[in-house]
Structure 1
Amino acid sequence: MKLLDKTIELEKDKSGSISIVPQDKEDLWQLYNLIQKGDEVELSTYRNVKKTTGSGATDGKDKGKTERKLLRLKLAVSDIEYAPSDESMRIKGKTTEQNQYVPNQSFHTAEVQLQKSLRITKPEWDDISYGIILAASSVETRAEVGAIVMEEGVAHLCLLTDNMTVLRNKIEKSIPRKSRGEGGGGNHDKAITKFLDMVQSTMLRNFDLTKLKVVILASPGFTASLLQKNIMEHAVKDDNKLIMKNKSKFLVVHSSTGYLQGLEEVLKDPSVQKRLNDTKYAREVNIFDEFQKSLNDDDDKAWYGPSEVAKAVEIGAVKYLLLTDTLFRSDDISVRKHYIKLSDEVKSQGGEVLIFSSLHESGEQLDQLTGVASILKYPVADLDEEEEEEEEEEE
């Protein structure tokens, strides 16, 4: 994300605007977290308008005909649509000013374009919103990982960033069973070679090896090792200097399955953690792991739920506050403000706040646990006592 300019009154009412250029698909996810109902967004979009003469009057000969024009619209946001699979984002809203072709207060839907500037104006830039902009406009904070989770006949090619896991491609090929006594070059081996060639060529189309920190190849058995061998053989044969230069980035690890469920398991592997120890995502996985272990041990240091966590914050006991980004996309402004206040209180007490993406496995799991959890500095029992007493009274 390229930040062109910002005029935000942080010392006063925190109102103001920023002008930015989304540069890649990851930026769309950041914008989805940033833009809310009630914000004003100014962006370029194509519209079909009635044909006019040079003077601006409608040409009689072309009456009823339209032409496609690039317009700049200001929209008061009423809805945001984001589709990770399509990697597209659309903004719906009413225009806040008219121009030659579009009347004021008319409804429009505009798609956010990569490499095209847009201006976002908010009545209030809270710490979460401002933090998104600072993080997104800093390349250093955006580590990425490529992962191919596979087994014979199926492969899932994924990209992992700070904020999401995106399935870039899925490859499936029927592999015949190896016949008894079948030697090298049989139908099974030929099908495996063809399958690995497909995965290798698809990887080159979908992964930017110069940008990725590591490419994880994971599978049960030896399929991942065979893929690594296939990639290197093709690199030598085709004189692919890009792969040869980045061959140290490939990491072969074991997974119990070649399907997406194996990805979270792979990311907890010590050899993978060692390679990813400087990324935000790896740290979040570790802390969520710590939370789950503490919860299973029932040691009174792991709590989840809005009221339980609020009580823990109130007594200053929170070491880590775990929140999902869905809480900050709530249409209810009071909900967003509540969790911003909770975050500020934890930070002022010396604790740390981690915001998990709902597009990561750990974020999905946290969402299932109400979206808010905490790891405490010391054990605190019966944070849910009041709730239990109320349930008993109702019974």
Structure 2
Amino acid sequence: MSVYQDVTQEHEILDVQTTDCCVVGGGPAGAVLSLLLARQGISVMLLEAHKDFDRDFRGDTIHPSVMQIMEELGFSDRILQLPHTKMHRLNIQTSQETITLADFSHLNTRYPYIMMLPQVKFLEFITQEAQKYPNFQLVMGANVHEVIEENGVIQGVRYRGQGGWHEVQATLTVGADGRHSRLRQLADFESIETSPPMDVLWFRLPRHPEEFGGGMGRFGAGQIVVMLDRGEEWQLGYVIPKGGYQKLRAAGLEALKNSIVEVVPELNNRLELLQDWSQIAFLCVESSRLKRWYRPGLLLIGDAAHIMSPVGGVGINYAIQDAVVTANILSQPLKQHHVEISDLAKVQQHRELPTRIIQAFQTFIQKRIFAPILNENQTFQPPLLLRLPILRDLPARLIALGIFPVHVQI
């Protein structure tokens, strides 16, 4: 018996809607894909589980690759008018020296920087643009609980929200619902996982006007503090060995503050503002990718298909590139109301190699830079990648532009 038949017996469905494409997850991948399809006259329903887009410590980096996509859509000038900061380079500072991990300032692009833009502002902008098309519908507070499957084909989803259960029947369902993807669980996809050697605690403190801007990693004995310029605030990441969070909590908040001061002494006069663990967000760092991103009637993209480490802040940008490639490949089949599994396979074929390369790069940085620093018994030696001039531009290009350029073709 199909999920479709089971659910109709268990729940009273308030309404049934049909659409060409049902996109689950209103993050960067889902929002951009919905906009691109709506521009083509394809009916799209975007389901977002939360009631708004405003959440703490989401990825807020817009890289040159995405700005080029925004330019192709005619949005770049308006996005640059939104409040933001720019990072022209990423540095690593130890007690002995400062090393440039990535210098974006001389890349061959109109946008030689990483833009720090609150994700809520970016998502509001993209969805407002999408709402200009009558064939686009955004549903907030839509918690997808079940997929509709008939004869081995996903036919849509059922979600709970707005006072009850609702059904969406779709030619194609796209899961863009992030690292904790509900659709990935429901459809029982198999993933290939790695084990990053770290987790991160995120928090914010005021930034003084005279302090340097940009982004930097401050390294001490067994300690790493990531500093991201957010205008009037520092967004700070305290990197800890994988599995060390409970030990850190047991030691207490004052011990954490003392450890931070050892690495970044100038924060001493602001750490008193950290008064409770509720001000600190814990990120369990993961890295994985699905063996197969699709089933008949269903495609996963972004973190739903490949969970990215926070190294380089590339997750948003690879998710948006996934969305562009998906729209390029699937717009015509969706207009014909028939998507073959071979069409879905083409999306993975285009995006899997860039994903594997950037994840390998992230693993290299984690193992060759972060892991030795977090291990007090090891001596940190910067890898040749950061020393040899012939290789020094590679991290900047990988982080800023990705492996292959992605362009809007529709």
TM over 0.5: no
Greater relative contact order: 1 or 2 (C-alpha under 8 angstroms, separation 6 or more)?
A: 2
TM-score by length of 1: 0.27
TM-score by length of 2: 0.27
